[in-house]
Structure 1
Amino acid sequence: MSSPDRLSLETLSGLPETVQTPAYDPRSVRPGIVHLGVGAFHRAHQAVTLDDILATDPQWGIVGASLRRADMRDALAPQDDLYTVAVRSGEGTALRIVGSIRQILVAPEDPETLLKAMCEPAIRIVSLTVTEKGYCHDPATGDLNPDHPDVKADLQNPRAPTSAPGLLVEALRRRREAKIVPFTVMPCDNLPANGPTVHRIMAQYAALLDDGLARFVERDVAVAGTMVDRIVPATTDADTAEIAAALGVADAWPVVTEPFTQWVIEDRFPTGRPDFGAFGAEMVADVEPYERMKLRMLNGSHSTLAYLGYLAGYQTVSETMADPAYERLVSDMMTDEIMPTLEMPGTDLGGYRDALIARFHNPALKHRTWQIAMDGSQKLPQRFLGTVRDRLAAGQPIDRLALGIAAWMRYVIGTDENGAPIDVKDPLADRLKAIGAEAGGDPQRLAAAYLGVAEVFGRDLSGDPAFVEPVTRALAALLSKGAAATVKDFAT
């Protein structure tokens, strides 16, 4: 039962007039999409676009699924799965209630219920925001990692999987067996060529079970690649309190974001799709150039700011950008080292760069450098190393890119410049910290050891002096001078 003091369908009509509410009755919505990975990003991005669409086409409601924990379900179920999106800019905050997610399931608790939902004929799209590490793959190669613990567990019990590849393939197997047409898979994570990469991961997983199933996944399952962009910081207790005060009722888990949003989608939906294009998405034949632009320019710059900013004691991106040396560094990195690797005739890359700089400066967003620094071993191959390889192949310098990579190395040692511990959140955190301890602060030993982590750097870069030398120089500077002084040197 809903509470009069809690956001819910019952309390919607009593919200202040300045709060935007759904332009449809959420109770009339029918599910057409299952989304794996109901986190803050999905709720501030894809679910908002679907909220717009549902006002005219109620068949595209979302059944969300958490692949790890029950906390999102437990927070939103008592409020009829409604939640607030707070859009913050220098001009203030605009509040909107989103109702497109009509149910949240928890895979580890009950994979069978989730699989049954994925097999409903009305479900024509399964989308994902499970982060890079959720695909159980090797970021350096883009292939499925058959030794991943979640993959090994699913192969032992393939009819009750809990990993993203396992759930997708088992649901597709069941649909095939029941003669229900396959859904379209729509990954919305920052993977290079995320459509082909996820298609390959699914086929490789299926091949470990059955060759015929693998051929079916390769031949008959459509995968629509995407590029998604919106900065969504983690919600703080202060955010929750402020939003509750503005609403007049409590919202257990609102999300905070910026005004900018972008969604580029490959138009590969043989069984139908919402009219994404009428509500702000860009439908294209090939998303790869847009994805590469975003991964290299936005995400690469974001990670650079996160590691170098955190090491200098800056808590947020906007605080980091208030230091002119940091702004100059990322602007020059985009202009001189990243943009020349992008072939996008007709696209104003300089305008995109300037828009990114403005977004990074947004003082209302408070995007924590520590949050962006998470899972760096999974992110570096996508955000930095494609650019690096292109630059090296062209015989061009990589000094600023090397500084971003060296800053990651300095960060994952696990102690900051004052000797305080860093809470490194990364699948390889223990191994990376052990490497740092063994190297004992020697930049050459440290760089060589980290570059030997093949899951991150592959086999080619650790033997290339054009890569090793600038990374080692940058790491030596960070260890001897600190981040702020090193950035100042690079920016002058």
Structure 2
Amino acid sequence: MTQHQHTNALVTGLNQQSLAQLPSHVDTPSYDRSAVKAGIVHIGVGGFHRAHQAVYVNELLKTPGSEQWGICGVGLLEGNRGLRDILKQQDYLYTLTVRHPDGKIDNKVIGSMIDFLFAPEDKQAVINKLAHSDTKIVSLTITEGGYNFNPATGEFDYSNPDIINDINNPNDPITAFGYITAALKLRKEQGLGAFTVQSCDNIQHNGNVTRKMLLAFATEQDKNLSEWIEQNVSFPNAMVDRITPVSKKSDIDYVVDAYGVSDEWPITCESFTQWVIEDTFSDSRPNWDVVGAQFVTDVTPYETMKIRLLNAGHSVLGLLGSIHGYGTIDETVSDELFATYLRAFMDKEVTPNLEPLEGIDLQSYKDTLIERFANPNIKDSLARICSESSAKLPKFLIATINENLVQGRDVSLATLVIATWCLYSDKGVSEKGEKLEIQDAMYKELNSYAQETQTSPIAFLKLTSLFGKLEHNETFTAEYKKSIAALYAPNSKIKAIMQAVLEQKSN
């Protein structure tokens, strides 16, 4: 997002001082921000963190006695410089526009972040902050890619040049693991207890994954330290959920009109929010349950439900919709055929693999999902949904396919999505001839394998780091070849193919 000068030169920028002049309908921090300490250091301050965890903290800070739970943000990448500059200029305040499906809007200013450190400028300052005795929780939203595991094996990737740097240069880290390990080493040397490492990323068993990857890294760097981490550091699993589109210029304009101040990096999100957290912390923790989070002993079934229904559902709409030429999730699911296809996928291919959950009515959860996807006030782009599909689909969709194949169940709906991903990676254009905006760390491999499809229909499946042994499963490959033949036929139309698969499914 670029800095924005509103046409009205009299508009003040958002900061601590301008809070007083906001209209009464804007919910502002009612607590004394100068008394707040950073008990949480958050690495990877993106839109999702600012619409989710930071909002729970903001609400908690309104409860007396919670002032030790403020957030210090950390940006590890050069690309975070602009965000740092904007947040600093705004006293780390930002606006949150919560858009309900019925058009109602809640306007909030979030004040839970009280500082932001930009690692490329001062690495030691970040290590010291993480190691500080006030820091009880180090939380992460570093996307799937940031955890540095091989998607097919789930093992740590030691070949990553940044990881090689961090293992050999403990005091000059680049990655989240490098910083966290350096800080834990300092804590151990100073006789301080460990902090909790809390992943807030959309990854199944995110705490277990973080633990496994950090220990793999630390063992390679310092065996003694790694044993101390294993014994002292908690990595609670959590399930997180809130749809948060990328901020656009129209969001900036909206804030000026609604608030009378300008915010250069506002956040818009849906009204639904969910956070289910495993109650295992190394040290004290915030009472997030007071403000709507749920502490449980086992997060697994909750996250499985969400990843297989919501995240996979997003990918189903994202890939099929992109090929048809739609641009956003709400536009796609408002098309009855796409909504029917998605619901059939959720009911017939996902639900049979899910176990019943306390406090969750699965049918109404699925109804709510479709309502959330159809929210016309949340313009979530398909390009964002499809970005980094190589990191998402093995967990979201391919896992469901594998389970159904083991159980001898039909996988035709999900198979069409995988075949569509091949076409998407190969041609990169919609049926309308528009170039698709594809962002994926594995794009070169995806494209090169997909391009062989004309000569070998299952070429794409030979990318075993993503598909494992699917190319050898005859039931799957028979279905996949059928989808590929239909998609690659001259003048093929995705909607006609979807219709045919739905009809086959109901027979």
Same fold (TM over 0.5): yes
Superposed, which structure 2 residues align to 1:382-401 within 5 Å?
382-401=395-414
Identity %: 37
More deviation, 258-267/238-247:
238-247
Q: Which structure 1 residue ranges, 4+ long, deviate > 6 Å from structure 2?
A: none
The 1:330–1:127 alpha-carbon spacing in structure 2 relative to 1, beyond 3 Å, is same
Q: Which stretch of structure 1 is more off in the superposition, 21-30 or 369-378?
A: 21-30
Q: Which residue of 2 aligns with 1:180?
A: 192
**Contact in 2 for aligned 1:143/1:197 (Cα 8 Å):** no
Question: Any residues of structure 2 matched to 1:404-415 within 5 Å, and which?
Answer: 404-415=417-428
Distance of 2:205 and 2:314 partners within structure 1: 20
Find out whether 1:49 has 2:56 as its counterpart.
yes
Can you list the C-alpha shifts for 1:414-449, whole angstroms capped at 9, x where unaligned? 521344432311111122223333x2x52x725x33
Quote how far apart the aligned CAs of 1:135 are: 0.8
Amino acid at match of 2:109: I
The alpha carbon displacement at 1:28 in A equals: 1.6
Q: Distance in 2 between matches of 1:16 and 1:367?
A: 28
Q: Is the 8 A contact 1:414 1:423 kept in 2?
A: no
Shift of the 240–139 alpha-carbon distance from structure 1 to 2, 3 Å rule, reads same
Q: Which residue of 2 aligns with 1:11?
A: 18
| Alignment partner of 1:258 is 2:267 | no
CA shift digits 1:169-208 (9 cap, x unpaired): 2221221122111100110112221111111011101111
Instruction: State whether residues 127 and 185 of structure 1, in contact with CA within 8 Å, keep that contact through their aligned partners in structure 2.
Output: yes
Please say if 1:426 is aligned against 2:414. no
The match for 1:449 is: 459
Aligned pairs for 1:269-288 (under 5 A) are 269-288=281-300
Cα distance in structure 1, aligned partners of 2:481 and 2:117: 47
After TM superposition, the structure 1 stretch with the greater mean CA deviation from structure 2, 113-122 or 170-179, is: 170-179
How far, CA to CA, are the matches of 1:485 and 1:373 in structure 2?
A: 22
Q: How many residues align?
A: 485
Rounded Cα–Cα distance in structure 2 between residues aligned with 1:312 and 1:157: 49
* Stretch moving more, 86-95 or 57-66: 86-95
Residue of structure 1 aligned with 2:482, choices 435, 458, 473: 473
For 1:25 and 1:491, locate their aligned partners in 2 and report how far apart those are by CA, in whole Å.
57
Which residue in the other structure is 1:248 paired with?
Answer: 260
Q: Partners in 2 of 1:163 and 1:469 — Cα distance?
A: 42
Q: 1:275 offset after TM fit, Å?
A: 0.4
Contact preservation (8 Å) 1:308, 1:483: yes
SS of 2:240's partner is strand
Q: Is the 8 A contact 1:325 1:491 kept in 2?
A: no
2:75 aligned residue = 66
What amino acid does structure 2 have at the position aligned with 1:450? F
1:22 to 5, 21, 29: 29
Q: Which runs of 5+ in 1 are unaligned?
A: none
Structure 2 partner of 1:484: 495
Identify the range of structure 1 (97-106 vs 141-150) with the bigger mean alpha-carbon deviation: 141-150
Q: 1:51 to 1:413 in 2, by over 3 A?
A: same
CA contact (8 A) 1:304 1:407 kept: no
Q: Which amino acid aligns with 1:52?
A: E
Contact kept? 1:266, 1:286, Cα under 8 Å? yes
Q: Supply the RMSD in Å over aligned alpha carbons.
A: 1.6
CA distance in 1, matches of 2:487, 2:161: 35
TM-score, normalised by the number of residues in structure 1: 0.95
Query: What is the distance in 2 between the residues matched to 1:423 and 1:362?
Result: 23
- The structural deviation recorded for 1:246 is 1.0
Distance 2:326 2:436 in 1: 13
TM-score by length of 2: 0.93
The CA deviation string for residues 15-34 of structure 1, in whole angstroms up to 9 with x for no partner, is: 01111101212222111001
Deviation per residue, 1:295-325 (Å, 9 max, x gap): 0000000011011111111111010011111
Q: CA deviation at 1:109?
A: 2.8
1:120-135, aligned counterparts within 5 Å? Answer: 120-135=132-147
Q: Which residue of 2 aligns with 1:322?
A: 334
